[in-house]
Amino acid sequence: MGTGGEVAYPQDGESHLHPVQLAPFTIDVHAVSNDRFAGFVDATGFVTDAERYGWSFVFGGLLPDDFPDTRGVATAPWWRQVFGATWRHPEGPRSDLGGRGDHPAIHVSHDDALAFCEWDGSRLPTEAQWEYAARGGLDGAIFPWGDELEPAGRHLMNVWQGEFPSDNTGADGFVGTAPVDAYEPNGHGLLNTCGNVWEWCADWYAADYYQHSPVDDPPGPAAGEQRVMRGGSYLCHASYCHRYRVGARSSNGPDSSAGNSAAGSAGRG
């Protein structure tokens, strides 16, 4: 696990390369789709945190030009508070899931993801399991396929193309989310482990955890205030968020949601 060479974001706790031993486990091939999440909601009547709070964060560039002004995040003004934004209405009340049944369910908090897993008979992967799965069997590679972002000019994940946050060329085929089965699988047969949407892990987050973590099946800290997120999203760009790498880390509050946070890949074992 970890990041070799220069660490992009030391504050995230990207640690030196270190060995981890994992017991066998299984993990879904890709993140939970809207169709699959809808099956969970239809069966249980579950109400997500975004629905209970009445709003979630949406990337401003995905809102229509005539969308009313909304409050932005001071340190990241491209994030807009949109009332009525939920997994069913990704860009607010005017939007729906038409044509996006195979896209990842977004505006999903960690608490929502845990509820889905309980219904599904699965669980969220630990951070160590996620990283092992995402690497696809490669040793220390930056991306799930190797060390080049676009080998031979091929786009292998959904990240920001152009100048952030004003110009997304969509050169990788998508502006916003992509289907959960887009692009080529990694060496383990998994899809979109980096890019597209952030995926929740089971662990509480601590920046210094992997400086002293156990070698065998590290479970993460016993407690904390934020949960681990991995993989980056369609909004990541090297100019400000170079976190679409296998070794990169991030975190958010367990009841937080946004237009690039998803249930992730459910695991077992």
Structure pTM?
0.95
Closest CA to 248 of 26, 3, 27, 39: 3
> Residue 14: pLDDT band by 50, 70, 90 thresholds?
confident
113: in domain:
yes
Mean pLDDT of 52-68: 95
The domain total for the chain is: 1
- Mean pLDDT (the chain, rounded): 95
Per the CB < 8 A criterion, the answer to whether 176 and 234 are in contact is yes
53: in domain:
no
Residue 235: pLDDT over 80: yes
CATH of the domain at 35: 3.90.1580.10
Closest CA to 2 of 209, 236, 163: 209
Question: Could you tell me which residues come within 8 angstroms of residue 89 by beta carbon, excluding any fewer than 6 positions away?
Answer: 95, 96
Mean pLDDT of 139-163: 95
133: in domain:
yes
Phi-psi region of 11 (alpha: psi -120 to 50; beta: other; left: phi over 0): alpha
Residue 269: pLDDT over 70: no
